[in-house]
Amino acid sequence: MRRAVVLLLTLVACAHHLRVVRDLGAYQRAAQLDPDQRLVEITSIPTDVRYATSNNFMHTPLYPTARVFLRAPAARALEDVERDLAPRGLGLKVFDGYRPYSVTVRMWEPIKNPDFVADPAKGSRHNRGAAVDLTLIDLKTGAELAMPTPYDDFTPRARQDFNDLAPEVMANRATLREAMTRHGFDPLPSEWWHFDYRGWERFDLLDIPFAAF
Ligand SMILES: [Zn+2]
């Protein structure tokens, strides 16, 4: 009985600590009060949403549709990055943006390493619509530029400070990092493809399915 009470108190404490918005109406009211809270679909930048296919580390589709959403200011900043890169013949290809909280819970199970998947106890900045996974492409051919690893390669080679790389690969990673940093995104040390939008704290964790938008 005492153990049950302790467990219950722990659950209450965790639930209190981690606020996850699951109600579409609550999201809509917040977005009406503050348009920055709106999730905006990324349609002007090429995407390859691996989590909508079996071609991902879970080997099964996690999203019902291949769509990418970000909070409005992060979406605008990403368009600025795209404009910044274009004169150099470069563009972006986006792998992931907003991710419903329940998907983060599913992803945690097989990996359980916070360097590569977010611990559901904290939630992911993807759950806030304030993180994006992406790479660089050649605007003319659409081909991805050479990067240290494929997307979602959970090895030390994916780290921003891994430098045993060909000079061209180092330069490509730096080009992406510098363009993103200039427009309000911070790199994640363990994944070259992941960037957090500065000020992510002001966006709630959401668990609202794509179909709602
Ligand atoms: Zn990410």
Contacts of residue 169, defined as CB under 8 A and 6 or more positions apart, other chains included, come to 146, 147, 148
Stretch 58-64: mean pLDDT? 95
Residue 31 alpha carbon to ligand 1 centre in Å: 23
Rounded to the nearest 10°, the torsion over CA 114, 196, 55, 172 is -110
* Neighbour count for residue 104 (Cβ, 10 Å): 22
pLDDT reported for residue 213: 87
Tell me the C-alpha distance between 156 and 98, whole Å: 25
Are 100 and 68 spatial neighbours (Cβ–Cβ below 8 Å)?
Answer: no
Residue showing tokens 């949403």: 49
Tell me the C-alpha distance between 21 and 207, whole Å: 6
SS3 179: helix
Residue 40 alpha carbon to ligand 1 centre in Å: 17
* Exposed e or buried b per residue across 128-152, where buried means at least 16 C-beta atoms within 10 angstroms of its C-beta: bbbbbbbbbbebeeeeebebbbebb
Q: For residue range 141-199, list pLDDT tens digits in order.
A: 999 999 999 999 989 999 999 999 999 999 999 999 999 999 999 999 999 999 999 99
Confidence of residue 9 (pLDDT cuts 50, 70, 90): very low
Tell me the C-alpha distance between 183 and 30, whole Å: 25
Residue 109 alpha carbon to ligand 1 centre in Å: 17
Contacts of residue 19, defined as CB under 8 A and 6 or more positions apart, other chains included, come to 204, 205
Residue 195 alpha carbon to ligand 1 centre in Å: 7
Instruction: Say which residue, 100 or 8, is predicted with more confidence.
Output: 100
Residue 5 alpha carbon to ligand 1 centre in Å: 36
Residues near ion ligand 1 (Cβ under 5 Å): 133, 194
User: Has residue 17 got a pLDDT over 90?
Assistant: no
Extract the runs of DSSP E, i.e. beta strands, from 97-182.
Answer: 131-138
User: Has residue 19 got a pLDDT over 90?
Assistant: yes
Stretch 51-63: mean pLDDT? 95
Q: Which two tokens stand for residue 153?
A: 């390669």
pLDDT reported for residue 32: 97
Residue 7 alpha carbon to ligand 1 centre in Å: 31
pLDDT reported for residue 13: 45
Q: For residue range 110-141, list pLDDT tens digits in order.
A: 989 888 899 999 999 999 999 999 999 999 99
SS3 199: coil
Residue 192 alpha carbon to ligand 1 centre in Å: 9
Tell me the C-alpha distance between 115 and 131, whole Å: 15
Confidence of residue 2 (pLDDT cuts 50, 70, 90): low
Residue 113 alpha carbon to ligand 1 centre in Å: 14
pLDDT reported for residue 78: 98
Residue 194 alpha carbon to ligand 1 centre in Å: 4
Residue 141 alpha carbon to ligand 1 centre in Å: 25
User: Has residue 204 got a pLDDT over 80?
Assistant: yes
Residue 3 alpha carbon to ligand 1 centre in Å: 37
Residue 34 alpha carbon to ligand 1 centre in Å: 25
